[in-house]
């Protein structure tokens, strides 16, 4: 295993797909995810979701510095933000654009290494909630 794992390089077919259609086997993966609704350009909930997702992801990555290294830990590059987007009904679409971005429903997520168990997540979630009490980490 390399010194630092980069999921984008290990799974290029997922993160840098070819330009022609192809079947890809997507393995089971662990994600930290938050669901929300609203215009990502203006919704406070989207801004908070980003702060929570990155706060948790970097807390897990840097756990090696706290003396509370999770079992099976390896150094890695925090994967990129991913998202799922939808709207209710076709009336909200105009061509390929959303008529009212406030109607967007989104799931924002960041992949995590397999060593991130529910116990590891709960510990980091509690730690972030103490550091940043203004964020509702229960939404994750």
Residues 6+ apart with CB under 8 A from 102: 37, 38, 39, 43
pLDDT value, residue 82: 96
User: Does the structure show a pLDDT above 60 at 93?
Assistant: no
**What are the structure tokens assigned to 58, written together?**
């970097």
Buried b / exposed e over 56-67, threshold 16 CB at 10 Å, is bbebbbebeeee
CATH no., domain 7-11+32-139: 3.20.80.10
User: Does the structure show a pLDDT above 90 at 1?
Assistant: no
User: Does the structure show a pLDDT above 90 at 94?
Assistant: no
pLDDT digits (tens, 9 = 90+) for 6-65: 999 999 999 988 899 989 999 999 999 999 999 999 999 999 999 999 999 999 999 989
Average pLDDT for residues 74-100, to the nearest whole number? 80
Mapped onto helix, strand or coil, the DSSP state of residue 1 is: coil
The pTM of this model reads 0.88
Q: What percent of the chain has pLDDT over 70?
A: 93
């Amino acid at each position: 295993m390399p010194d630092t794992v980069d999921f984008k390089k290990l799974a290029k077919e997922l993160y840098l797909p070819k330009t022609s259609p192809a079947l890809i086997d997507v393995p089971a993966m662990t994600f930290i995810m938050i669901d929300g609704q609203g215009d990502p350009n203006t919704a406070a909930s989207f801004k908070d979701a980003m702060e929570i997702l990155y706060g948790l992801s970097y807390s897990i990555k840097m756990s090696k510095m706290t003396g509370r290294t999770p079992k099976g830990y390896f150094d890695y590059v925090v994967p990129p933000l991913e998202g799922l987007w939808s709207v209710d009904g076709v009336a909200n679409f105009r061509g390929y654009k959303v008529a009212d971005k406030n109607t967007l429903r989104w799931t924002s997520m960041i992949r995590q290494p397999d060593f991130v168990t529910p116990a590891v997540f709960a510990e980091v979630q509690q730690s972030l909630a103490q550091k940043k009490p203004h964020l509702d980490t229960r939404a994750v």
